[in-house]
């Protein structure tokens, strides 16, 4: 199978950093194209005819993947990396996975996560018709349109299990919109497949009581090496800085540095291109959010962003610690077999 997004010595780090910061670049795009914001009551039914072509997951171009010969896989679903665009003279709210410009925006995050998170794991990340950044201006609008995006992710998951996984254990992970879609994978997962799940990482999204009630496979992580569990990460300056659409009603919280569920904080290093900063993070047992201390906020996420919320920094804050944890949980999985 062809490898897509392989590492190029001397340039991979800069590309990966750009990928993790792609949401910040998109902020400028959203501001300039704010005139394309959907009307308040716009839903998928009104614009389904504008949907781009359905991805064919037997086509290698619809994946970013690296097959490393590892004993376990990482299946990753990207966050919102694209905006509204014109299709046939009308506004389309879904990414076109065959369009080079949109593929480029999505590939930045795919490539970055593989570079910074996968380690020695095999890596699979599908392109999908994600809803646009502007869609999140209204929770009702976003949730209605998400059905198309989730449909693509579910088809990619089924193709992965049938043709790419070959019975190996796997880690599921998703960021923001991708984590929302990941919850649907968990809810539809049969026991025979769930037994091979090392862990699920819901980065920048919530796990609600409804999610838990609908799926017995969704269980909170209690430490650094339990398996078959879900890790949930939502970072803020203070508990009142949460973004409702991604964090309201969240039940799960574990510190991705010291892997504790109580309020004991831990220092961590935020690695930057020009300098490294030492910050600290701890769980808030009441809000189930991660409280980050010492970070100097420079950007505000478009559409859903609010001051003191670090949604756009989730991937960059903790990647050395999560990468190490993924490897540790894989080891724990095999030790239990």
DSSP string, 286-306: TTTEEEEES-------TTT--
The string over 199-227, giving b where at least 16 C-beta atoms fall within 10 Å of a residue's C-beta and e elsewhere, is bbbbbbbbbeeebbeebebbebbeebbbb
The per-residue pLDDT for range 26-49, each reduced to its tens digit, is 433 333 333 233 333 334 444 455
| 254 is a domain residue | yes
| 256 is a domain residue | yes
The per-residue pLDDT for range 276-296, each reduced to its tens digit, is 899 999 999 999 999 999 998
Helices 100-113/314-335 angle, 10° precision? 60
The per-residue pLDDT for range 178-223, each reduced to its tens digit, is 999 999 999 999 999 999 999 999 999 999 999 999 999 999 999 9
The per-residue pLDDT for range 60-72, each reduced to its tens digit, is 999 999 999 999 9
Average of per-residue pLDDT values in the chain = 87
- End-to-end CA gap in the chain: 29
To which H or E segment does residue 59 belong? none
pLDDT at 48: 54
The per-residue pLDDT for range 81-133, each reduced to its tens digit, is 999 998 888 899 999 999 999 999 999 999 999 999 999 999 999 999 999 99
Adjacent-strand bridge partners of 63:
126
What is d(CA 30, CA 36) in angstroms, rounded to the nearest whole number? 9
- Give me 94's structure tokens: 């879904």
The per-residue pLDDT for range 256-275, each reduced to its tens digit, is 999 999 999 999 999 987 77
pLDDT at 88: 82
The total number of structural domains that make up the chain: 1
| 2 is a domain residue | no
20: left (phi over 0), alpha (psi -120 to 50) or beta: alpha
Backbone φ and ψ for 119, nearest 5 degrees, come out as 65, -120
Instruction: Find all residues with CB under 8 Å of 319, minimum gap 6, and list them.
Output: 20, 116, 117
Res. 158 pLDDT band, cuts 50 70 90: very high
| 4 is a domain residue | no
Residue 306 has pLDDT above 80, yes or no: yes
Res. 8 pLDDT band, cuts 50 70 90: very low
| 6 is a domain residue | no
pLDDT at 6: 34
| 28 is a domain residue | yes
Residue 22 has pLDDT above 70, yes or no: no
Secondary structure letter of residue 53 according to DSSP: P
Secondary structure letter of residue 138 according to DSSP: S
| 3 is a domain residue | no
Write out the residue range of the structural domain in which residue 74 sits: 12-335
What is d(CA 140, CA 135) in angstroms, rounded to the nearest whole number? 9
* pTM, full prediction: 0.86
């Amino acid at each position: 199978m062809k490898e897509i997004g392989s590492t190029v010595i001397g340039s991979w780090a800069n590309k990966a950093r750009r990928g993790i910061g792609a949401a910040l670049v998109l902020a400028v795009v959203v501001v300039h194209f704010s005139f394309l914001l959907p009307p308040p009551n716009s839903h998928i039914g009104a614009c389904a005819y504008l949907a781009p072509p359905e991805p064919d997951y037997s086509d290698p171009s619809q994946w970013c993947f690296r097959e490393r010969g590892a004993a376990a896989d990482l299946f990753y679903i990207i966050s919102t990396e694209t905006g509204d665009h014109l299709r046939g003279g009308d506004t389309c709210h879904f990414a076109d996975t065959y369009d080079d410009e949109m593929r480029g925006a999505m590939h930045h995050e795919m490539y970055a996560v593989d570079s910074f998170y996968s380690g020695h794991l095999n890596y699979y990340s599908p392109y999908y018709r994600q809803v646009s950044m502007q869609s999140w201006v209204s929770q009702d609008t976003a949730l209605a349109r998400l059905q198309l995006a989730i449909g693509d992710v579910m088809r990619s998951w089924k193709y992965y299990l049938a043709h790419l996984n070959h019975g190996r254990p796997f880690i599921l992970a998703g960021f923001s919109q991708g984590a929302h879609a990941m919850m649907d994978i968990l809810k539809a997962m049969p026991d025979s497949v769930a037994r091979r799940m090392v862990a699920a990482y819901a980065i920048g999204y919530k796990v609600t009581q409804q999610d838990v009630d609908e799926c017995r496979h969704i269980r909170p992580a209690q430490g650094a090496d339990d398996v078959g569990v879900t890790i949930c990460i939502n970072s803020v300056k203070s508990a009142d800085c949460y973004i409702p659409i991604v964090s309201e009603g969240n039940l799960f919280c574990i510190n991705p540095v010291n892997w504790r569920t109580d309020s004991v904080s831990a220092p961590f290093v935020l690695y930057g291109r020009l300098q490294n900063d030492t910050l600290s993070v701890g769980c808030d047992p009441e809000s189930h959010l991660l409280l980050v201390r010492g970070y100097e906020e420079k950007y505000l996420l478009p559409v859903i962003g609010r001051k003191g919320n670090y949604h756009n920094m989730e991937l960059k804050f903790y990647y050395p610690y999560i990468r190490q944890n993924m490897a540790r949980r894989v080891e724990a999985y095999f030790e239990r077999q």
